Structure 1
Amino acid sequence: MNEQIKKKIKKLLALSKSPNENEAMAALEKARKLMEENGLSDLDCDIYTEETKCLKSRPLWQQIIGSGVAWINGTVVRIISDDGSPVVRFHGSETDVFISKEMYQYLVKTVDRMAKQNIRKNAKKPYRDSYKEGMATSLYVRMLEAGALYSWANRRESQLAVIDKYVVELYKEGYETVDHTSATKKRNNAAFYRGANDGESVNLNRQTTGGKHEYLRIKAAVSL
């Protein structure tokens, strides 16, 4: 594929965000026409990255949430430690990675908050971690079920294949999945299933209002 064409499309997509409505519409129309003529999609021309912090210990429960959030939104996730401080990075279209980051932060904070509320303060770390893993696993399963109902679900695999190819080149590695079903030696089953049960009550859709947040909320709603 001619890289010059991709560069031209990228420039047009950048212009499509212009505050001048006429200029933006004209640029978007030209970009769409070029993509159609050359068999390209948004992802072929521009893949974005959003990142957020992760605990240094890279807890399994955060990895499980990141995996579910990435899948439901059609993005690819990586936990990277470039400078010793782990960050969670989502790769995909601009809108999808924005939604992934927002959803990930919301769910991580929710699990953390509920663990503090529902577990006694003197509980040992394995018990607390097992509770969070249970909640995360419950949320993961619910995201898989909800994501299968999206109107664009039949295009998810092809979309992920494009992003995955980009990520493999970016990090020079293969795609790794999180084994969220494997039991750990320190897992407390009672705490895990208690967390899984509490995870059923968490609203997957964070309520956002105004500007881009409102647009994303509406976009998510019409995707069902």
Structure 2
Amino acid sequence: MDIEKKIRKLLALSESPNEFEAQAALLKARQLMAEYKLTEAELHEGNKKVKTIKTSISCTKQTNFWIFTLSTVISENYCCQAVHERAKHSKTYFIGFVGLEEDVSICVNIFTYAVDCVLTQIQNLKHTYCNLSLGAQKNNQWIWSRFL
């Protein structure tokens, strides 16, 4: 008998109304899982489907190149694979993710949030430094006008 199938049956038996039978089945299932180094997630992966989700986030190799790296890092940490897809004769890449349904949806949410945070911070920094440079130019003009 396949060990994964046996463990699944023991886990199903652990839902038994008989308390002692359920406890014994759960202990045996945990023992076999430890022995064969299996997790519950690995046992239930057969029931899940692989899904591909494309985001609306795009970038090029000249602008926002950091998005490629960010998508790769996030996908690796959420058990997915980042996909960079571009249309024919276009320089724009669209980012997507491939993986199990739950993992991909979490990955897309985290990625979208991270990109939004970075882009917002970039806009704030541009606004701050633009105002500083305008202020410096005005101050220089004021200083030079006093001497002329």
* TM-score, normalised via structure 1 length: 0.33
Normalised to the residue count of structure 2, the TM-score between the two structures is: 0.48
